[in-house]
Amino acid sequence: MGGVVAFEVARHLEQDGADACLLALLDPPFALPDARRPGQALTDEARLAGLFVADAIRGLGWDRAEPPDPVTSTATEQLRWLADRLATGDLETADDRDTTARLRRRFDVFAAHSRLLAGYRPARPALRAPTLIVSASRSPNAPATALWPRVLAGPVRTVSVDGDHYTFLRPPLVAEVGATMLRWHNDAE
């Protein structure tokens, strides 16, 4: 969601007469499909919880974790499963209920973002700000990288880093991403 928000903020700034000195899009999606399909409404909390738990698993690097099936498990059961895994790991919590409550709050934000992004398409006019697009080569968003110049009128530089949406902002790749952003910003000035 961050890339979409950054683009929209820069676009609104330019529409209001301000200049955005640099837009950095980090592995952004371009156009998101409307996830509302017959039998799988976007408001289906269990399906969204399944996406949230899968996102958390990938973000934590738990490659072999087998979460509950979102088709047969409630959102509460899936969040409880994740809370239990976090409680048995390196995460120190004062209270198991606190972990579950924090996960529920994060899930609620995730669900709201999912609803906001459903069917998103970048708007025009084209953005004039210099733009750096950092694409994670093994991300589902990687093919979208070629679509962004359609809505960008300023100079655009695209950099691909080896990794997925979850690993490219962790060491050691995050150092490469940061250095690239600094170089592009300095060159664009």
Q: What is the CA radius of gyration of the chain?
A: 19
Boundary (domain end) residue, out of 102, 117, 132 = 117
Residues whose CB is less than 8 angstroms from the CB of residue 34 and which lie 6 or more positions away in sequence, other chains included: 42, 118, 119
113 and 158 in a common domain: no
pLDDT (0 to 100) of residue 157 = 93
74 CB neighbour count, 10 Å cutoff = 13
Q: What is the pLDDT of residues 145-170, one digit of tens each?
A: 999 999 999 999 999 999 888 888 88
Q: What is the pLDDT of residues 81-120, one digit of tens each?
A: 998 888 776 444 445 667 888 888 999 998 888 888 887 8
Kindly indicate the confidence band of residue 32, based on its pLDDT and cuts at 50, 70 and 90. Answer: low
52 and 106 in a common domain: yes
Q: What is the pLDDT of residues 40-94, one digit of tens each?
A: 444 489 989 998 898 888 878 787 788 999 889 999 999 999 988 887 764 444 4
pLDDT (0 to 100) of residue 96 = 61
Contact in structure between 48 and 35 (CB atoms under 8 Å): no
3-state secondary structure of 164: coil
Kindly indicate the confidence band of residue 34, based on its pLDDT and cuts at 50, 70 and 90. Answer: low
Kindly indicate the confidence band of residue 36, based on its pLDDT and cuts at 50, 70 and 90. Answer: very low
What CATH number is associated with residue 133? Answer: 3.40.50.1820
State percent of the chain over pLDDT 70.
88
CA–CA gap between residue 189 and residue 167 (Å, rounded) = 29
Containing structural domain, residue 161: 2-32+123-188
- The structure tokens 């809370």 sit at 83
Boundary (domain end) residue, out of 117, 151, 180 = 117
Domain-embedded: residue 11? yes
- The structure tokens 């899968």 sit at 54
CA-based max dimension of the chain: 54
Domain-embedded: residue 40? no
51 and 28 in a common domain: no
pLDDT (0 to 100) of residue 93 = 46
Q: What is the pLDDT of residues 8-29, one digit of tens each?
A: 999 999 999 999 888 999 999 8
62 and 11 in a common domain: no
DSSP string, 143-163: GGGGGGGGGB-S-EEEEEESS
Task: Give the dihedral sign, CA 45/97/87/108.
Answer: positive
CA–CA gap between residue 40 and residue 26 (Å, rounded) = 29
Per the structure, the count of domains in the chain is 2
Domain-embedded: residue 91? yes
Boundary (domain end) residue, out of 117, 144, 179 = 117
pLDDT at residue 30 above 90? no
